[in-house]
Amino acid sequence: MIRRTLTDNKLTALNILGRTRRHLLGRHAEAVLVNSRNGLLLVDAEDCVVGRKLAYEGEYGLEELARLTSVIDKSSNLLMLGAHVGALAVSASRMCAKVTAIEANPRTFRLLELNLLINGCPNVSAINVAASDKTEMLPFVMGRTNSGGSKRAPLAGSYAYVYDAPQTIAVPAAPLDEVLRGQKFDVVMMDIEGSEYFALKGMPSLLSSARVLFVEFVPHHLRNVSGVSVADFVSLITPHFSQLYVPSKDLRLTQDRFIPVLAEMFDQDESDDGLEFSK
């Protein structure tokens, strides 16, 4: 039996909100069209995280986009892992030459394709695959209330992974060095809910040519989804990047401090939406 914490109770409330939205819209409603600063976007009818933020606040991820703007220009080639419905990809497409958007969730991927069409983004290529370290059919949990939280099947159980009764399906997974063979990217953005370690392991060639890597850091995901240590995670990054900026702490670090600082964050269960590694 899983004991519920205060955070778990908030997740339960979020699930009730998502089901209420579904009930009000009707069981045949797949998406809601939102006019946001990111673009005209279709969002999942039950999504109470990214979708709700776009619907109620009219924007999403503007801080991330501001940081991205500082490292790209109209000639840049951007690789985005975990593109979701395209809120960031659509905005980024206006800032650079090309965006390659990777999204594992097939239901979300359909909305991503439609959003790219609606917003006229010919410089964005979308690929429905899970970034991993090997070619396989991967068990994948389809989040309902938080579709952006969809992820590879976790190694450890947690109420946070089952609170909205998600469906688990099999999705195609592959190393991105194979999927994107011969391509080079200036900047890589990665937000894939615990699959970061496996994605990094499957793309050393792409990382070697990238100038900047943005990657989400969530201790809960490292422990329970990928089952790796901070040292394991960092070992895939240090061959390619020598500098780290931690936005949540406003810290700039040299390579010798990567593990000590991130290990402390891990122990304190402190997350960061996008660590910024650079050459």
Does 238 map to a domain? yes
Residue 132 within any structural domain of the chain: yes
Phi, psi of 14 (to 5 degrees): -65, -40
CA distance 74 to 76: 6
- Boundaries of domain holding 217: 66-278
Domain count, the chain: 1
Residue 26 lies in a domain: no
Provide the sign of the torsion angle of the four alpha carbons 221, 162, 48, 15, taken in this order: negative
Which pLDDT band, with edges at 50, 70 and 90, does 11 fall under? low
- Residue 14's pLDDT band (cuts 50, 70, 90): low
Domain membership of residue 1 (yes or no) is no
> Does 86 fall in a domain?
yes
Which residue is associated with the tokens 């970034």?
A: 131
For residue 79, what is the domain's CATH number?
Answer: 3.40.50.150
Q: What is the pLDDT of residue 104?
A: 98
Look at residue 225 and tell me if it is in a domain.
yes
Tell me if 116 is assigned to some domain. Answer: yes
**Phi and psi (nearest 5°) for 76?**
-75, 150
In a domain, 53, yes or no: no
Q: Residue 269: helix, strand or coil by DSSP? A: coil
Condensed to tens digits (0 to 9), the pLDDT of residues 113-143 reads 999 999 999 999 999 999 999 999 999 999 9
CA quadruple 132, 133, 136, 139: dihedral sign: negative
